[in-house]
């Protein structure tokens, strides 16, 4: 599975109208990753968004919502753990603690700065974790790239 053969687009069909839409790049990566929150997608025929259960992959005929549930089930255990809500809560707590510590040391030990630091850390760390660290680790360590899933 080299990057040369990593797909970057896939077509899906909207059941209601029968039109096929090709999803590419960032949207493709998001819709392929069963651990990302994607509730709906776009139909070029209807020029609107609809739930994932209303679409099937054009090449396999599988409902996109069903395919994503299956991909999440079939992912390696370590990948599932990294993407679990526990991991998310942990990074939230760690981010808050780290942010509070930074705020504490950075600005003359006022409670306010620590609170702001905690808030920033609680938001920033999970974003970095889920947006960059987990995808990078699952790809490099477990060779798990959701764009290959079918």
The residues binding Zn ion (CB under 5 A) are: 14, 17, 19, 43, 45-46
Q: Supply the minimum distance, in Å, between the C-beta of residue 31 and Zn ion.
A: 16
Considering only CA atoms, which of 8, 10, 12 is closest in space to residue 20? 12
CB nearer to Zn ion: pick between 55 and 144 = 55
Answer positive or negative: Cα dihedral of 115, 119, 125, 128: negative
Sign of the alpha-carbon torsion through 138, 21, 37, 119: positive
Q: Between 45 and 115, whose beta carbon lies closer to Zn ion?
A: 45
Residue 144 has phi, psi (to 5 degrees) of -105, 105
Question: Please, what is the minimum distance in Å from the beta carbon of residue 56 to Zn ion?
Answer: 12
| Of 14 and 147, CB closest to Zn ion | 14
State the minimum distance, in angstroms, from the CB of residue 45 to Zn ion. 4
């Amino acid at each position: 599975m080299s990057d040369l053969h990593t797909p970057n687009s896939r077509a899906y069909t909207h059941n209601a109208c029968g039109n096929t839409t090709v999803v590419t790049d960032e949207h493709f990566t998001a819709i392929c990753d069963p651990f990302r929150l994607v509730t709906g997608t776009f139909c070029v025929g209807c020029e609107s968004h609809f739930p994932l259960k209303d679409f099937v992959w054009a090449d396999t005929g599988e409902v996109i919502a069903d395919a994503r549930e299956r991909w999440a089930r079939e992912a390696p255990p370590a990948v599932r753990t990294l993407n679990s809500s526990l991991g998310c809560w942990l990074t939230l707590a760690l981010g808050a603690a780290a942010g509070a510590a930074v705020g504490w040391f950075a600005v003359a030990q006022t409670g306010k700065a620590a609170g702001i630091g905690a808030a920033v850390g609680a938001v920033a760390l999970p974003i970095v974790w889920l947006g960059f660290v987990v995808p990078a680790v699952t790809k490099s360590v477990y060779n798990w790239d959701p764009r290959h899933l079918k």
